[in-house]
Amino acid sequence: MRYFAVLHPPCPGIVGSSKPRFLLLHHLLRRRAKGSLGLRCRAPLKGARVAAASKPPPSPVSDSDQQPQIPDVDLSLDLQKETEGLDLGWLPSFPHVLTASMANFLFGYHIGVMNGPIEAIAHELGFEGNSFLEGLVVSIFIAGAFIGSLGVSSFVDNFGSRPTFQLDTIPLILGALLSAQAHNLDEMLWGRFLVGLGIGANTVLVPLYISEVSPTKYRGSLGSLCQIGTCLGIIASLALGIPSESDPHWWRIMLYIACIPGFILIFGMQFAVESPRWLYKVGRVNETKRVIETIWGESEVEKSIEEIQTVINDDVKNQKTSWLELLVEPNKKVAFIGGSLFILQQFAGINGVLYFSSLTFQDVGITSSSLASLLVGLTNFAGALFALTLMDNQGRRRLLIGSYLGMAVSMFLIVYDITVPLDEGSSHILSILGTLMYIFSFALGAGPVTGIIIPELSSNRSRSKIMGFSFSIHWICNFLVGLYFLELVDKFGVGPVYGAFDAVCVEAVPGSHDHIFPCERTYSRNLALLHPVLPATDSTTNIVRVFSRFSNHKCD
């Protein structure tokens, strides 16, 4: 039995293999629709890559009896070669990205694990009624996170991402165990500090790793899994914290449970791929090719190797890097952008809104703080999912500007509800609406974009140190807001403090458009070519010019 594929007029026809290969025929038709088939034929045919056999000698029959001759063409195809150029999409990279996102799940879990049972912990460990010590237990991990975010870059540069993930997870597990078994305040504080070390290191490492193993086309969408992982961790901790309202010892179970995702992360990273850029940087070229073929496809191997080699040859003069490199261009500009993004993110008021969300929901009848926090977490998760679908379609800058614009409007609704008396029937309705809108808007852009854009703008040589510096700014701002927020509220009131947050959101809109992002087209460019060597100048014009050259896109 033979199968025929009718082509354009210059080629009369193709006689396929006598074996019934339905999948092969379907594949050929799809390839033909996109372009030439690339078949191997016995004879060349002008104007086509598919050749027909030479014309047979005329047979001694009358013209009326002649039938059109269809030349035979050998379809000795190699399916593997035919599929080499196919886009593998995001699926090959997804298991590795998902494994790394488990670190963000741990981050979110440890953020929310103290939200519900802090009063029970204070009662059992003997510091009940001391608001300073309660706040210290909740926020001591910030000090550890600051140290962890600065120290992780050296481990990544020397040992790679996979071993660093596994090493950074050890203090997370030990800290959770120590906190779960704590019998006094000191043990609890040391446990939370160890957790902070792992949290700080992993918040730097996860977006760095995801940006280096994700396909260029899907880097933003896969990078959004950082925010989604954090949201899921918060939701899990808040859901598990509901029984703590009736069981005063439930908090120990919650901290023991935190060890489970830690063990999953250590075990899972054993099967994850290493960053191809780090592998090539340390001279493991063959392994680099295998990793690229696994996660990006065989057709990307040579092109990716050439791009990585070009960047490393231009960018890495010595094997070791120094923090002093952040003081010179172009690293100084990128470090400034990273620090500015996190300053805007933290001083836009996300922690303040989350802190007062439980009180806001209580005013409308939701008395369970865990249930109110769970509603906030679900809203955050919904926004992160929506950002996942838009990240690689709309671009980083548009999402960030839209996010801060939505946060500004939402914060205005909250301030208006607080400062302007309304009738009893509509009391705090605007606050509820504004709170949910604010959290959704934050998850849409200000949350995920900040961690995605920094590694895209950083050079391969200094990427880990720029990430460490930027996230250290994040933890410093987080600590300052947490330290002075309640004091400012007591002194000036909630309305003026929220008004200051709203002013930051308003300023972030033109700031992101005119100063933070000179060009938005980082989302469709290969990571190896996003950060060429720039002239040693502070001029934004040079950055615009270089980005335009590599993106073929006219910047605003």
What does the pLDDT average to over 152-157? 84
pLDDT digits (tens, 9 = 90+) for 491-507: 888 889 899 999 999 98
Calculate what percentage of the chain has a pLDDT beyond 70.
Answer: 71
Q: What's the confidence (pLDDT) of residue 366?
A: 64
Position 318 pLDDT exceeds 70: no
Position 275 pLDDT exceeds 60: yes
Tell me which amino acid residue 350 is: I
| Domain spans of the chain, in order of start | 1-55+70-77, 89-272, 326-556
Tell me which amino acid residue 188 is: M
Q: What's the confidence (pLDDT) of residue 253?
A: 93
Burial class of residue 470, CB neighbours in 10 A (0-12, 13-18, 19+):
buried
What does the pLDDT average to over 467-483? 85
pLDDT digits (tens, 9 = 90+) for 193-241: 999 999 999 988 998 888 888 887 787 778 778 888 888 998 888 888 8
Angle at 244 between CA 240 and CA 249, to 5 degrees: 115
Q: What's the confidence (pLDDT) of residue 529?
A: 45
More confident position, 304 or 232: 232
Contact 50, 37 (CB under 8 A): yes
Q: What's the confidence (pLDDT) of residue 156?
A: 86
Q: What's the confidence (pLDDT) of residue 549?
A: 33
pLDDT digits (tens, 9 = 90+) for 333-367: 888 888 888 899 899 988 778 767 766 676 656 66
Distances (CA, A) of 446 to 26, 80, 368: 45, 43, 28
Per the prediction, the chain carries an average pLDDT of 74
Q: How far apart are CA 484 and CA 464, in angstroms?
A: 30
What does the pLDDT average to over 141-166? 87
What does the pLDDT average to over 254-281? 91
Q: Give the residue among 290, 408, 411, 283 at the shortest CA–CA distance from 352.
A: 411
- Alpha carbon 159 to chain centroid distance? 22
pLDDT digits (tens, 9 = 90+) for 91-118: 888 899 999 999 999 998 998 888 778 8
Taking every pair of Cα atoms in the chain, the longest distance, rounded to a whole number of angstroms, is 111
Residue 550: which pLDDT band, with cuts at 50, 70 and 90?
Answer: very low
Contact 458, 337 (CB under 8 A): no
pLDDT digits (tens, 9 = 90+) for 35-79: 444 444 344 444 444 444 444 455 444 444 444 454 444 444 444
Q: How far apart are CA 21 and CA 18, in angstroms?
A: 9
More confident position, 533 or 432: 432
pLDDT digits (tens, 9 = 90+) for 79-94: 444 444 455 677 888 8
What does the pLDDT average to over 468-481? 87
Q: How far apart are CA 430 and CA 295, in angstroms?
A: 47
Position 534 pLDDT exceeds 60: no
- CATH no., domain 89-272: 1.20.1250.20
- CATH no., domain 326-556: 1.20.1250.20
